[in-house]
Structure 1
Amino acid sequence: TNLLEEYVLNDQGAVFQGSSDHIGAKVWNFAQFEEGVLEVCFSLLRKSLGYKVGPHMSNPVTMARAISAIVNSNDDDGVLVGNWSGDYDDGTSPTAWINSSDILLQYSRNKGEAVRYGQCWVFSAVVTTVCRAIGLPCKSVTCFDSAHDTDGSTTIDYVFTRNADGYLKRDRDRTDDSIWNFHVWNEVWMARKDLKNEYDGWQVIDATPQEISDDIFCCGPAPVAAIKTGNCKILYDLPFVFAEVNSDVIRWEYVNKLTWINMGSDTKRTGAKIFSKNPDGKPYTDSLTISRWQKSSPHDVTSDYKFPEGSREERRAVDNAAQASRVFRGKQTPNDVKIEMVEKDGMMVGEDFTIEFRLVNTSQKKREVSSLHLELYSKFYTGEIKSKIFFKPLPGLTLEGKKDKTFSVDVKSKDYLDKIAEQANMEVIISATVAKENNNKDNIVKVDNFRLRRADIEIKMPTSCKKGEELTAHLNFKNHLPVPMTKCVLYLGGAGFEKIEKIPQKDVPAKSDWKLSVKVKAKRVGLEQFSVTFDSQEVPDITGRAEVQVK
């Protein structure tokens, strides 16, 4: 396939969400060829450049940086307002969008009033549309376990303190860094004449307003090749992007202002997987839910960003980035008792589930484990905690040399249903104190993120038709919740089908099947993608898709 057929001409695709173990694909209509979209894109670029027309508009670096700034509304009355609060009553929920043209044309109709609301995948999808519309090759890229480094250290620092009962607890007041379950940005293809063409090719740009660059909320272009080697002195915004994909996670115990104990680090946590759509020039036709046990259907670009974890080249890249940041990392003493999570297949929202983990003694000598406990939180995909679900102390034990012990903690749906956040993300923290020889002690901590699965919408409709023909699509999914789904709305889309407005739906009773039949009309010839999103107050963003060959 000619890559231009994907990265410039393809107006249908997908963005990836979820967690590194359970990935969800959200089908998207980029719609760069829809009537009125190109005009809006040109208007945006003129606005971003201060309405100054000149040779600078032929510079892809200038244009890409301008696009990353104007797609968010933070500084320049741009397109989208970011909102991660969960309250979208005065706008559209970020999970409801499935079409960039709806966003861009609303912005134009309202004479430049920012559209409410977007989150990272929405920003990325709109950037894809703008870039492809003006002929700048572009793809949407999702990084799972994406770090947000707030202090330029190129490390993610988790701080813990002891409570009155002697348990280690996450000190969120002293922890500014975070790890997003996923973050979606873009890559654009260009020559970097400003870098003497040493870093031509794919460049990261990011319109999600996270950190300020040159006094405005924008990011990039950052050469992917420079990210891989940790060359953080290259323009633009390399330290921040490098940290997203390859920073070390360091766990600290805060004792007092002068005493910080390094409890260990995780060098493999961030940038676990980096995916984009397969560049086949076609609509996305693979599974909407992808677990770690399935063959990966997205295009894996992780190796473009980083060398194999633990390799000499990867460690050298991290060291290069650390030298550029000039931040002291502290001395680490290796722990010989490890906490390992027992991975399970996707657990459904609304059902009971079990968390399992192992304590593994890697030494030859026995170890006394005390103050063992597990904390469970619901959180937003950005790493921000929504609610504490429970704190569970566990019995201490003696762990003989080279032995391990497995623990199971049951979680009932009633424990978490009223506390769950969008995307159904959870964070589990397990910690303990390990007694060693000569009165020495180790503090061990494991932080793990996972996501509860949502049902997919099954779509039954003809696989082929003639242009102008009306088709019936039969939709259904199961509500796994023990409570009704309320404030329900259905959104339908597809570049090859006549537009259908959102359709409000009745409440879906607990543990019941939802069914609906809708009529759609094909408007152009080709392999066309029909997509649906069902939003409710309890579980948003239930999706489905089907392909139709229009003749």
Structure 2
Amino acid sequence: MAVDTAANNNWINSLRANYARTIDRRRQDELEAEKPPTSANKVDRLHWYIKDNAKTHRTIKYDLVHDTKDPKPVLRRGQAFYLAIRFHNDFDIAKDRVVLNFKFGAKPAVQKGTMAVVTVENDKFTKTKNDWDCRIDPGSRGKDLVLQIYIPATAMVGIWRLDVRSGLQDISLGRAMNLYSDETDVFVLFNPWCKDDGVYMDNETNREEYVMNDKGKVYVGTYRKSRGRPWAYGQFDDVVLPVAVYILELSRVADPERGNPVQVVRGISAGVNDTDEGGILQGRWDGEYSDGVAPFKWTGSVRIMEDFVKNGYQPVKYGQCWVFSAVVTTVCRALGIPCRSVTNFVSAHDTNSSLTVDKFFNTEGKELEGGPDGESHDSIWNFHVWNDVWMTRHDLPPGYGGWQAIDATPQEESDHKMQCGPVSLQAIRRGDIGLNYDASFVFAEVNADVMHWGEDPQSDWGWRRMKMNQYHIGRLILTKTPGKEDDVGDEDQEDILSEYKNDEGTEAERLAIHNAIRGSQRAQQYYEYNKDIKEDVVFDLIEIDKISIGDEFQVKVVIRNDSDQQRKVSAFLSAQSIYYTGVSASLIKKAEGTFVLNPQQSRDVSLTVKYSEYWKKMVEQCMIKIYTICCVKETGQTWTDEDDFQVEKPTLNIETPEEVQVKKMSEATLSFTNPLDVPLTECQLSVDGAGLMRPKAIKIDSVVPPKGVFSHTVQFLPRIHGERKIIATFNSKELFDIVGSKTVDVKKVAQ
């Protein structure tokens, strides 16, 4: 049967046209359905209350806040800020649905924490401290919706943007929402005033110095004659904060890690130098600076950063260690990270992780540059400047928080980049070189032994150790004293050597070296450390569960010699107060000594700490960490252990009547006995009880005598029946954080 070709083609063409029209109609219908309802409210503009927020967030000093044409919000995480949204029509929470999308980085994502979705629906904060949250402010009226928005203390630090989506609460009328994308760069910073932030610092004098002080000194010279170079940090200048954020991009700190101070400061140590990323400063030490600025000519960081921006973000020429350190101080303080420049006088540069500075001499007594293989370029600097930054270290065991060393001067690669730290000063002091990051390198800078090697054909290696100087490296470590200014001399310097190492020549200092050697295979070879050490001495640290305030405590180690020979044992014991986050607060007491144990003999080594020695050094939670390290001379056996415990304080007793009724005035009596031998002054109560009373702070005018009883009565009018709870704390200058609570069964009004 013949096919009518023309008719068939017409039929196919009609099918194509019908299909195309149908698809197009469906797509148009879908697009119409996706459009917000015409009754959905639209956003006209946002008002950021930039200066008002800056005052409460302690960012009012930033130039960006005061820009007359394009001011920027500068906020700290762990706090709430105010924002107003002006709508096209009057805002009605019963009708209007509003969702805020805070976005961070190139690819914001909720699952990575770089996008926060915040629904506007309550007049109170309802989420946890780990979540973005908002509340509708009572000041909202008409077209203006005023919000208070909480930034979690773990939020990413840098630039955020905000999208506002507005639609209808009744989704049956349409789910689609209008989009308003605000182009304002919102700078979010670390918050050392917030206890939930990893950089929290509880001392106001220190915060003022290490975060807010925009000038200071960097120490140079020799350990016998040091001097402070005045430096203008200028962290609030308009150029600084954008550059600080930019170098985190340069150093490729992943967006989800921008809320972690550990990773941020590691990125800063890489981004300030130009070696890998083309960062801010190029280093030079050969004296030839004709195509740039000699390092000693710089007087502050702002000019360096301005040159960096003006030159198309090309590295500025030139810097040396004190310039790198000063710029790091500027960047860290700008971002809200407590930071100080520190100078180590007689500083070792260990190039092969041996924990030593090695000099090799041939049979004629001439030093061989680079050693036997030409690769040993250890050196000793008259001084070297790096930085300490303050933070908790949740990636390390408790007790290793607090000051952490970072170094932006390019010296040795770490993870294939010129970066260094952060490494805990506690780890350096103890010789725990296996902890992150770069602990062995910084340990050697302040603790390395200087070894002289002589050529010896009789040695299997071909070299023998001729001399070892244990006391040459790390003679003095200086930084500026908080709260002091000396424009004439250097009375404002502070020696922090003891924060990095024990006194030279002490058993504790040598024990830290032994502990470090255990963690380095190369060091074991250089120190002729025997890996097959006899461990014939048994050590046992007696753990302390808790003590009551006013009691003394004893750090005790039981040592037993199980060998059939005498053993000479060196021991170091210490006690220090720590924050609950693990940050070390203060050394309380230490002891060290050497003694001989006869075969099969046991001995207790102890450190007794009296109340008068520890109490003034206590911080919140009253936690104490004890640490001990011992070494056996004959075998090289090294043993360390640690323990922490809490000092218990009295409980605040709360007494209430047996029967408490709604809307009937009642009272609660709060009391405790002062356990101290001193009076309690500047006393204050904080009392709260949901449904019972409004939170209140009560100043107590009287003094609590030594061993005396404190008692105070408060009145309250219960508003809600059922089980309620009164929570109270007592604080004074001498005794703090005395806590008590009492459950109250509130009865309904009798009918």
Structure 2 length-normalised TM: 0.41
* Greater displacement, 323-332 / 303-312: 323-332
Superposition map of 1:461-476 within 5 A: none
- Deviation of 1:284 (Å): 4.3
Partner of 1:65: 266
Partner of 1:279: 482
Q: Which amino acid aligns with 1:130?
A: V
Which aligned segments of 4 or more residues in structure 1 are displaced greater than 6 angstroms? none
Partner of 1:143: 344
1:106 paired to 2:303? no
Q: 2:498 aligns with which of 303, 328, 331?
A: 303
Partner of 2:28: none
Q: 2:384 aligns with which of 169, 183, 207?
A: 183
- Deviation of 1:329 (Å): 2.7
- Deviation of 1:48 (Å): 2.3
* Greater displacement, 251-260 / 297-306: 251-260
- Deviation of 1:139 (Å): 0.1
Query: In structure 2, the residue corresponding to 1:264 is in which secondary structure?
Result: strand
Matched-pair contact (CA < 8 Å) for 1:27–1:284: no
- Deviation of 1:79 (Å): 0.7
Structure 2 unmatched runs, 5+: 1-203, 530-751
Distance in 2 (CA, whole Å) between partners of 1:39 and 1:173 is: 43
Deviations 1:103-157 (A, max 9, x none): 1111112221000110000000000000000100000000001000001010111
Partner of 2:208: 5
Distance in 2 (CA, whole Å) between partners of 1:223 and 1:315 is: 19
Cα 1:253–1:287 shift into 2, 3 Å = same
Distance in 2 (CA, whole Å) between partners of 1:100 and 1:130 is: 9
- Deviation of 1:64 (Å): 0.5
Superposition map of 1:66-145 within 5 A: 66-145=267-346
Distance in 1 (CA, whole Å) between partners of 2:527 and 2:397 is: 37
1:28 paired to 2:231? yes
Q: Which amino acid aligns with 2:246?
A: S
Deviations 1:198-230 (A, max 9, x none): 311000000000000001000000000000000
Q: 1:314 aligns with which of 487, 490, 509?
A: 509
| Identical aligned residues as a percent | 44
Query: In structure 2, the residue corresponding to 1:193 is in which secondary structure?
Result: coil
Cα 1:330–1:191 shift into 2, 3 Å = closer
Query: In structure 2, the residue corresponding to 1:194 is in which secondary structure?
Result: coil
Partner of 1:173: 370
Matched-pair contact (CA < 8 Å) for 1:13–1:284: no
Query: In structure 2, the residue corresponding to 1:111 is in which secondary structure?
Result: coil
- Deviation of 1:176 (Å): 1.6
Matched-pair contact (CA < 8 Å) for 1:228–1:305: yes
Q: 1:266 aligns with which of 462, 469, 479?
A: 469
Cα 1:234–1:115 shift into 2, 3 Å = same
Matched-pair contact (CA < 8 Å) for 1:286–1:297: no
Partner of 1:192: 393
Distance in 1 (CA, whole Å) between partners of 2:454 and 2:252 is: 47
Matched-pair contact (CA < 8 Å) for 2:399–2:426: no
Partner of 2:242: 39
Partner of 1:546: none
Structure 1 unmatched runs, 5+: 289-295, 333-551
Tell me how many residue pairs correspond in the alignment. Answer: 318
Partner of 2:532: none
Matched-pair contact (CA < 8 Å) for 1:149–1:240: yes
Cα 1:26–1:106 shift into 2, 3 Å = same
Distance in 1 (CA, whole Å) between partners of 2:507 and 2:297 is: 44
Distance in 2 (CA, whole Å) between partners of 1:321 and 1:138 is: 27
Deviations 1:213-268 (A, max 9, x none): 00100000000000000000100000000000001111111245843222221111
Distance in 2 (CA, whole Å) between partners of 1:18 and 1:161 is: 33
Matched-pair contact (CA < 8 Å) for 1:246–1:271: yes
Query: In structure 1, the residue corresponding to 2:255 is in which secondary structure?
Result: coil
Query: In structure 1, the residue corresponding to 2:421 is in which secondary structure?
Result: coil
Distance in 1 (CA, whole Å) between partners of 2:340 and 2:461 is: 46
* Greater displacement, 261-270 / 296-305: 296-305
CA RMSD of aligned residues (A): 1.8
Structure 1 length-normalised TM: 0.56
- Deviation of 1:72 (Å): 0.4
Query: In structure 1, the residue corresponding to 2:504 is in which secondary structure?
Result: coil
Query: In structure 1, the residue corresponding to 2:403 is in which secondary structure?
Result: strand
Distance in 1 (CA, whole Å) between partners of 2:211 and 2:528 is: 49
Deviations 1:258-317 (A, max 9, x none): 43222221111000111111111x5443526xxxxxxx7510100001111111111111
Query: In structure 2, the residue corresponding to 1:218 is in which secondary structure?
Result: coil
Distance in 1 (CA, whole Å) between partners of 2:486 and 2:389 is: 20
Matched-pair contact (CA < 8 Å) for 1:276–1:300: yes
Distance in 2 (CA, whole Å) between partners of 1:286 and 1:58 is: 40
Partner of 2:356: 155
Bigger radius of gyration, 1 or 2?
2
Query: In structure 1, the residue corresponding to 2:262 is in which secondary structure?
Result: helix
Distance in 1 (CA, whole Å) between partners of 2:421 and 2:377 is: 23
Query: In structure 1, the residue corresponding to 2:467 is in which secondary structure?
Result: strand
Partner of 2:152: none
Distance in 1 (CA, whole Å) between partners of 2:385 and 2:511 is: 26
Distance in 2 (CA, whole Å) between partners of 1:286 and 1:222 is: 34
Matched-pair contact (CA < 8 Å) for 1:262–1:330: no
Q: Which amino acid aligns with 1:81?
A: Q
Distance in 1 (CA, whole Å) between partners of 2:330 and 2:485 is: 15
Distance in 2 (CA, whole Å) between partners of 1:316 and 1:302 is: 17
Cα 1:307–1:105 shift into 2, 3 Å = same
Q: Which protein has greater RCO, CA pairs closer than 8 Å, 6+ apart?
A: 1
